[in-house]
Amino acid sequence: MTMMTSRSPWLPYPRREGRPGARLFCLPHAGAGASTFRQWVRMTGTAEVEVRPIQPPGRETRRADAHYGEIAALIPDLAEALLPELDVPYAIFGNSVGAVLAFELARLLENGAQRAPSRLIVAASASPRHAGTLLPSIDRLSDGELVELLARRFQGIPAVLLDSPQLLAEFTPVMRRDLEAVQRYRPPELPALSCPVTAFVGEDDAVPLAFVDEWRAVTTGSFELFPVPGGHFAPLGHGHRVIDLMLRMAEL
């Protein structure tokens, strides 16, 4: 499989040569980066589906880039970076906090891009109306309190970080800014989309299932809800189901 060099900091993984049947753009959870989806990239070695993980500023390969601060400030720049990639049917996937970014990206592209998204896929996330309400005010929590809360409620801090004070000190400020941005976010009037929406959620997730089910209100298109075994990050282990959706798109 031949790879092409990526020219955008938003898309750090190389692009394959050739024209895939569909592309999947993936937005990670709070504090995380594009490497969250490296297994999904490896899973799709065929030409039918190409996974394109997105790298928000302030982390991993973009550690030196300023954090966007507000969701509204990030989405137009990201959409512009993706325009050259929208030459085939595509879907947008967002995990946890990344689901809100994915929703706003889909909304902008549906209204302004030459090719609208074929599907929005969200995971481990309450609907936009509730996305900022599941945690107490982040600016009132110390770093230690924030880490303890997320580790206890969502198992949201990897053990490799908890065991390394240096890595945790680098990760926590980015995670905090991501969560603060979502708490400041105000969703648009609904429905805001017409494309189909699919939601995945762990059966043991602390996010209430009723809040996940409310994603159906964001679109006039179809809606599917898929509970999967496990907790908050369980959907990331079910990438094959997301890829199956993409393969169906590629056959259209």
Active-site annotation holder among 29, 67, 96, 125: 96
User: Cα–Cα distance between 237 and 87 in angstroms, integer?
Assistant: 28
- Structure tokens, 2: 């031949």
CB 225 within 8 A of CB 212: yes
Q: Does residue 96 have an active-site annotation?
A: yes
Q: Which residues contact 76 (CB under 8 A, 6 or more apart)?
A: 108
Polymer length in residues for the chain: 252
Eight-state DSSP code of residue 204: T
Q: Which of 214, 236, 245, 246 is nearest to 27 (CA)?
A: 236
29, 118, 125, 232: which is the annotated catalytic residue? 232
Task: Find tokens 């600016």 and name the residue.
Answer: 139
Q: Phi and psi dihedrals of 251, rounded to 5?
A: -85, -10
User: From CA 5, how far away is CA 158, in angstroms rounded?
Assistant: 30
Specify whether 118 is catalytic.
Answer: no
Token code pair at residue 85: 């990639």
Q: Where are the alpha helices (DSSP H) in the chain?
A: 38-43, 71-82, 97-112, 143-154, 159-162, 165-184, 209-213, 239-250
Active site residue ranges: 96, 232
